[in-house]
Amino acid sequence: MAEGEIAKATALKPDEIPDGVSGDTVWKVADNLLNISVLPKAALPAEIGDLNDLIVGGDAQKCRGDFFAGAMLDVVESATIARAYTTCQTQQAATSTYYFAMPRKQGGGLYLTKIIATGVEVPPTIERAIKELDAKVRGVITAALARL
Protein backbone atom coordinates (compact mmCIF):
# COMPACT_ATOMS: atom_id res chain seq x y z
CA MET A 1 0.00 0.00 0.00
CA ALA A 2 2.87 2.35 0.81
CA GLU A 3 4.68 1.58 -2.47
CA GLY A 4 1.58 2.48 -4.46
CA GLU A 5 0.79 5.49 -2.30
CA ILE A 6 -2.71 4.15 -1.84
CA ALA A 7 -4.27 6.52 0.64
CA LYS A 8 -6.72 5.52 3.32
CA ALA A 9 -6.04 1.78 3.00
CA THR A 10 -6.90 -0.02 6.22
CA ALA A 11 -5.85 -3.61 6.87
CA LEU A 12 -8.84 -5.59 8.11
CA LYS A 13 -8.67 -7.96 11.05
CA PRO A 14 -10.05 -11.47 10.46
CA ASP A 15 -13.31 -10.67 12.27
CA GLU A 16 -13.82 -7.54 10.10
CA ILE A 17 -13.64 -9.36 6.75
CA PRO A 18 -17.09 -9.69 5.12
CA ASP A 19 -18.56 -13.13 4.49
CA GLY A 20 -17.53 -14.57 1.14
CA VAL A 21 -14.28 -12.59 0.99
CA SER A 22 -11.04 -14.47 1.44
CA GLY A 23 -7.36 -13.75 1.09
CA ASP A 24 -4.08 -13.82 2.95
CA THR A 25 -4.50 -10.11 3.60
CA VAL A 26 -7.51 -7.84 3.03
CA TRP A 27 -7.58 -4.04 2.97
CA LYS A 28 -10.47 -1.63 2.85
CA VAL A 29 -9.77 1.23 0.43
CA ALA A 30 -12.61 3.78 0.63
CA ASP A 31 -15.72 1.58 0.20
CA ASN A 32 -13.88 -1.12 -1.75
CA LEU A 33 -11.92 -4.19 -0.73
CA LEU A 34 -8.48 -5.21 -1.98
CA ASN A 35 -7.15 -8.62 -1.09
CA ILE A 36 -4.02 -10.53 -1.90
CA SER A 37 -3.63 -14.30 -1.77
CA VAL A 38 -0.55 -16.43 -2.27
CA LEU A 39 -1.62 -19.52 -4.22
CA PRO A 40 0.67 -22.57 -4.15
CA LYS A 41 1.72 -24.08 -7.47
CA ALA A 42 -0.01 -27.38 -6.64
CA ALA A 43 -3.41 -25.62 -6.49
CA LEU A 44 -3.08 -24.02 -9.95
CA PRO A 45 -3.80 -25.09 -13.52
CA ALA A 46 -0.82 -25.95 -15.73
CA GLU A 47 -1.19 -22.76 -17.83
CA ILE A 48 -1.75 -19.29 -16.39
CA GLY A 49 -4.30 -18.62 -19.15
CA ASP A 50 -6.49 -21.39 -17.74
CA LEU A 51 -6.73 -19.42 -14.51
CA ASN A 52 -8.91 -16.83 -16.24
CA ASP A 53 -11.38 -19.57 -17.16
CA LEU A 54 -11.49 -20.75 -13.54
CA ILE A 55 -11.98 -17.21 -12.21
CA VAL A 56 -14.72 -16.27 -14.67
CA GLY A 57 -16.40 -19.68 -14.37
CA GLY A 58 -16.37 -19.55 -10.57
CA ASP A 59 -17.85 -16.06 -10.42
CA ALA A 60 -20.47 -16.99 -13.04
CA GLN A 61 -21.61 -19.97 -10.96
CA LYS A 62 -21.96 -17.79 -7.83
CA CYS A 63 -23.91 -15.03 -9.60
CA ARG A 64 -27.70 -15.25 -9.31
CA GLY A 65 -28.40 -12.37 -11.68
CA ASP A 66 -26.98 -10.67 -14.76
CA PHE A 67 -23.33 -11.54 -15.31
CA PHE A 68 -20.60 -9.98 -17.43
CA ALA A 69 -16.91 -10.87 -17.64
CA GLY A 70 -13.77 -10.13 -19.57
CA ALA A 71 -10.33 -11.74 -19.34
CA MET A 72 -6.94 -11.41 -20.95
CA LEU A 73 -3.28 -12.28 -20.63
CA ASP A 74 -0.85 -9.41 -20.19
CA VAL A 75 2.89 -8.93 -19.65
CA VAL A 76 4.40 -7.02 -16.72
CA GLU A 77 8.20 -6.79 -16.73
CA SER A 78 8.50 -9.95 -18.89
CA ALA A 79 6.15 -12.00 -16.68
CA THR A 80 2.91 -13.29 -18.18
CA ILE A 81 0.01 -12.37 -15.95
CA ALA A 82 -3.69 -13.16 -16.00
CA ARG A 83 -6.23 -10.37 -15.70
CA ALA A 84 -9.98 -10.70 -15.39
CA TYR A 85 -12.99 -8.54 -14.64
CA THR A 86 -16.40 -9.79 -13.55
CA THR A 87 -19.62 -8.08 -12.57
CA CYS A 88 -22.78 -9.57 -11.14
CA GLN A 89 -26.00 -7.56 -10.92
CA THR A 90 -28.93 -8.81 -8.86
CA GLN A 91 -31.97 -6.96 -7.54
CA GLN A 92 -30.28 -6.68 -4.15
CA ALA A 93 -26.73 -5.65 -5.11
CA ALA A 94 -24.08 -5.29 -7.75
CA THR A 95 -20.53 -6.57 -7.39
CA SER A 96 -17.62 -5.71 -9.68
CA THR A 97 -14.28 -7.47 -9.25
CA TYR A 98 -10.89 -6.91 -10.88
CA TYR A 99 -8.45 -9.84 -10.73
CA PHE A 100 -4.71 -9.81 -11.31
CA ALA A 101 -2.59 -13.01 -11.07
CA MET A 102 1.20 -12.82 -11.22
CA PRO A 103 3.74 -15.65 -10.94
CA ARG A 104 5.85 -15.79 -7.77
CA LYS A 105 9.58 -15.96 -8.34
CA GLN A 106 10.35 -17.49 -4.98
CA GLY A 107 8.52 -20.68 -4.09
CA GLY A 108 6.46 -20.87 -7.26
CA GLY A 109 2.74 -20.36 -7.40
CA LEU A 110 0.99 -17.02 -7.89
CA TYR A 111 0.04 -13.80 -6.21
CA LEU A 112 -3.66 -13.17 -6.80
CA THR A 113 -5.10 -9.72 -6.15
CA LYS A 114 -8.80 -8.94 -6.16
CA ILE A 115 -10.36 -5.50 -5.97
CA ILE A 116 -14.04 -5.68 -5.10
CA ALA A 117 -16.76 -3.03 -5.20
CA THR A 118 -20.20 -3.97 -3.87
CA GLY A 119 -23.34 -1.93 -3.38
CA VAL A 120 -26.94 -1.45 -4.37
CA GLU A 121 -25.37 -0.48 -7.67
CA VAL A 122 -21.80 0.16 -8.78
CA PRO A 123 -21.97 3.60 -10.42
CA PRO A 124 -19.44 4.72 -13.06
CA THR A 125 -17.48 6.74 -10.49
CA ILE A 126 -16.89 3.63 -8.37
CA GLU A 127 -16.02 1.56 -11.48
CA ARG A 128 -13.47 4.21 -12.42
CA ALA A 129 -12.03 4.23 -8.89
CA ILE A 130 -11.52 0.46 -8.72
CA LYS A 131 -10.12 0.42 -12.25
CA GLU A 132 -7.60 3.09 -11.21
CA LEU A 133 -6.77 1.15 -8.04
CA ASP A 134 -6.21 -2.00 -10.13
CA ALA A 135 -3.86 -0.08 -12.46
CA LYS A 136 -1.96 1.38 -9.50
CA VAL A 137 -1.49 -2.06 -7.90
CA ARG A 138 -0.31 -3.56 -11.20
CA GLY A 139 2.11 -0.66 -11.64
CA VAL A 140 3.84 -1.08 -8.29
CA ILE A 141 3.55 -4.77 -7.43
CA THR A 142 6.88 -5.85 -8.94
CA ALA A 143 8.77 -3.05 -7.13
CA ALA A 144 7.01 -3.87 -3.86
CA LEU A 145 7.73 -7.60 -4.18
CA ALA A 146 11.41 -6.91 -4.95
CA ARG A 147 11.71 -5.34 -1.49
CA LEU A 148 10.56 -8.50 0.31
What CATH number is associated with residue 119?
A: 3.40.1000.10
Asked if the structure places residue 84 within a domain, the reply is yes
**How many domains, in total, are found in the chain?**
1
**Contact partners, residue 13, CB within 8 Å, separation at least 6:** none
Nearest to 83 by CA among 110, 108, 117, 60: 110
Q: Which domain holds residue 70?
A: 21-146
More confident: 102 or 146: 102
pLDDT (tens digit per residue) in 83-127: 999 999 998 888 999 999 988 877 788 889 898 988 766 667 777
How much is the average pLDDT of 142-147? 63
Asked if the structure places residue 13 within a domain, the reply is no
Task: Report how far residue 25's alpha carbon sits from residue 23's, in angstroms, rounded to the nearest whole number.
Answer: 5
CB 80 within 8 A of CB 52: no
Amino acid identity of residue 9, one-letter, is A
Nearest to 69 by CA among 94, 96, 33, 47: 96
CA angle centred on 72, ends 93 and 100, rounded to 5°: 65
Overall pTM > 0.85: no
